[in-house]
Structure 1
Amino acid sequence: MTPAALATLHQHLVAALSTPPQETRRLFHGRGRCWPELEQITVDWLQGILLVALFKPLSESALIALHEMLMDLSHTPAWQQSGAHSLLLQQRYLTDSPTQWLLGEPVEHWDICEHGLHYRLDLGRKQNTGLFLDMRYGRQWVQAQAKGKRVLNLFAYTCGFSVAALAGGALQVVNLDMARAALSRGRDNHRLNQHDLSQVVFLGHDLFKSWGKVAKYGPYDLIIIDPPSFQRGSFVLSKDYPKVLRRLPELLSAEGVVLACSNEPEIGPDYLTQAMASEAPSLGFIERLENPPEFPDSQPDSALKALVFSNAV
């Protein structure tokens, strides 16, 4: 990371903090390859906390320079006026993704707001905080579509889609994820939004061993599929995604809708449309949701894919 690249990042952050977002947002998305030498750095605004994440090692001198730039940033008028009080640096490329609190009092949990809904994040303890910010438009879309519907949220993680669906008036949401701790945080997220938990089902199971449990609550009017690209011992996107898609016809209502997602850079949207045509041909492609503008990408097909399919086509 050259001094010129570091100066570019500093200028970008000063400008962003001069008019800080009212809700949680990404402030800098280097991973979209739009800024040379900054491809492996992201900066998120967590409503008072600035989370800087590195996805590739820096030389010792570059890491020191980054530290110095960030501390300089905390003394600018933009920082002071933004209401920022804490600064974290996460090294995502290391085992357990350790996080340093460069400024502020360390906390384990932090509650944030997105589109008027509340979510609890984990800071400094896990690789991911608990909410993927690039899926902001996807959650808004689900909220807008969910009224009166029975929703299945596969690979639910901390149940962000479930929170959005209940806020949008869903009759019931079934969340499935192998990680029961993530589902427990999903319960917290629903409670933060004062939702009726009797409308929410949490299944802490391996999907491929639990189709019967999933089918029991169907048929579903809306199914969300947002898997990890790779999860050791349980999911490999290129091999296992088709296995999920071929089950859709038996799980969906007559006019059911599917939101099929992938964040794997090496797999473009054509993979999902072709796989759906092969495994669930009754479902027709409707649209690809836009990604939020704070996630620019020089190669759009490598960015987040959130594709809508429907039985009603």
Structure 2
Amino acid sequence: MQLNQLATFFSHVETQLEVAPDEVRRLFHGRGQCWPGLEQLTCDWLQGQLIVNVFKPVDDEFLSQLKQGLTTLSQSDVWRQKQGRTILLQHRYSDGAPSEVLLGEFDPRPVVVESGLKYQLDIGRNQNFGLFLDMRLGRDWVKANAKQANVLNLFAYTCGFSVSAIAGGADQVVNVDMARSSLNKGRENHQLNGHNINQVRFLGHDIFKSWGKIKKSGPYDMIIIDPPSFQKGSFALTKDYQKILRRLPDLLTDNGQVLACVNSPAVDCSFLIDGMAQEAPELTYVERLENPPEFADINEQASLKCLVFKN
């Protein structure tokens, strides 16, 4: 990364912080390659806590200037206006993503708000803190389309889509994920929002070994597929996604919708469109959802892809 570009980073962070709503937001997304010399930096605002991530090793001078600039930011008017409390620097290139608290007292389990809904985060223990911020408009779409729907949420993680679906009036959501600990956090997220847990099911199963159980709760009006790009021993994108697509016709209602997502830069939209045409030709491609503007990418096909299909 380039030391002489740090001024651009701080200027953009301060500008975005000033206009950010009182919700969780990404303020700077270097990973989208739109900021030359700053490709390995991100900055997230967690409603009082600023989390800066460095994804590759940098020299001592760059690190020193980065910390000095963050200290200066903490003395600004906008920091006071937004009631900033804490600045955390995470070294994502090192094992365990070690963190440094540069300012204030760090809260590792804050509750944040996105689109009016509450989520419990868990920062520092894993590289991901429990809510993928680039999926905000996907969750908004689910909320807007879930009224009276029976929803299947595959690779549910901490159940962000499920929270959005129940908030949007879904009758039932079935969440499936191998990680029971993530599903437990999903249960917490529903409880934070005062949802009726009787409307939500949490299945800690391997999806590919559980189609019988999954089908019992169907047919579904909405199916959400948001897998990891790769998970050792359980999911490989180019090999396993098709196995899910071919199951969709048996799981969907006649007018059911599918939100199929992929976040690997190695594939473009045609991976999903062509895959659906081959494995589930009954389903029609409708649209690709926009990504949040703060996640601008120099190559839109390399960024998050959320595609809507209809039966």
TM-score range relative to shorter protein: over 0.9
Indicate if the aligned counterparts of 1:49 and 1:88 stay in contact, CA closer than 8 A: yes
TM-score by length of 1: 0.97
Give CA deviations for 1:251-275 in whole Å, capped at 9, x if unaligned: 1111111000001011111111000
User: How many residues are treated as equivalent by the alignment?
Assistant: 311
Q: Distance in 2 between matches of 1:285 and 1:54?
A: 37
Indicate if the aligned counterparts of 2:88 and 2:106 stay in contact, CA closer than 8 A: no
Indicate if the aligned counterparts of 2:2 and 2:38 stay in contact, CA closer than 8 A: no
Give CA deviations for 1:7-32 in whole Å, capped at 9, x if unaligned: 11011112223334221111111111
- Match of 1:102, SS? strand
Q: Distance in 2 between matches of 1:75 and 1:264?
A: 38
Measure how far apart 1:176 and its partner are.
0.4
Identify the residue that residue 252 of structure 1 maps to in structure 2. 252
Indicate if the aligned counterparts of 1:221 and 1:257 stay in contact, CA closer than 8 A: yes
- Match of 1:22, SS? coil
TM-score by length of 2: 0.98
Q: Distance in 2 between matches of 1:6 and 1:100?
A: 19
The aligned runs of 1:34-49 (5 Å cut-off) are 34-49=34-49
Measure how far apart 1:82 and its partner are.
1.8
- Match of 2:205, SS? coil
Identify the residue that residue 19 of structure 2 maps to in structure 1. 19
The aligned runs of 1:151-170 (5 Å cut-off) are 151-170=151-170
Root-mean-square deviation (Å): 1.0
Give CA deviations for 1:25-57 in whole Å, capped at 9, x if unaligned: 111111111110111111111111111111222
Runs of 4+ in 1 over 3 A off after TM superposition: none
Give CA deviations for 1:186-219 in whole Å, capped at 9, x if unaligned: 0000000000000000001111111111111011
Identify the residue that residue 72 of structure 2 maps to in structure 1. 72
Measure how far apart 1:79 and its partner are.
1.5
Identify the residue that residue 232 of structure 2 maps to in structure 1. 232
Q: Distance in 1 between matches of 2:173 and 2:63?
A: 44
Q: Distance in 2 between matches of 1:165 and 1:19?
A: 28
Letter of the 2:143 partner, please give it: Q
Identify the residue that residue 141 of structure 1 maps to in structure 2. 141
Consecutive unaligned residues in structure 2, runs of 5 or more: none
Measure how far apart 1:67 and its partner are.
1.5
Q: Distance in 1 between matches of 2:10 and 2:107?
A: 25
Identify the residue that residue 32 of structure 1 maps to in structure 2. 32
Consecutive unaligned residues in structure 1, runs of 5 or more: none
The aligned runs of 1:295-306 (5 Å cut-off) are 295-306=295-306
Letter of the 1:204 partner, please give it: G
Q: Distance in 2 between matches of 1:76 and 1:56?
A: 28
Measure how far apart 1:111 and its partner are.
0.3
Relative to structure 2, which stretch is displaced further, 42-51 or 71-80? 71-80
Identify the residue that residue 100 of structure 2 maps to in structure 1. 100
Measure how far apart 1:58 and its partner are.
1.2
Identify the residue that residue 212 of structure 1 maps to in structure 2. 212
Indicate if the aligned counterparts of 1:25 and 1:46 stay in contact, CA closer than 8 A: yes
Measure how far apart 1:63 and its partner are.
1.7
Q: Distance in 2 between matches of 1:130 and 1:112?
A: 11
Identify the residue that residue 122 of structure 1 maps to in structure 2. 122
Q: Distance in 1 between matches of 2:230 and 2:101?
A: 29
Q: Distance in 2 between matches of 1:99 and 1:249?
A: 46
Give CA deviations for 1:149-204 in whole Å, capped at 9, x if unaligned: 10000000000000000000000000001111110000000000000000000001
Indicate if the aligned counterparts of 1:20 and 1:82 stay in contact, CA closer than 8 A: no
Q: Distance in 2 between matches of 1:268 and 1:10?
A: 32
Letter of the 1:307 partner, please give it: L
Letter of the 1:42 partner, please give it: T
Indicate if the aligned counterparts of 1:176 and 1:207 stay in contact, CA closer than 8 A: yes
Identify the residue that residue 287 of structure 1 maps to in structure 2. 287
- Match of 1:306, SS? strand
Identify the residue that residue 273 of structure 2 maps to in structure 1. 273
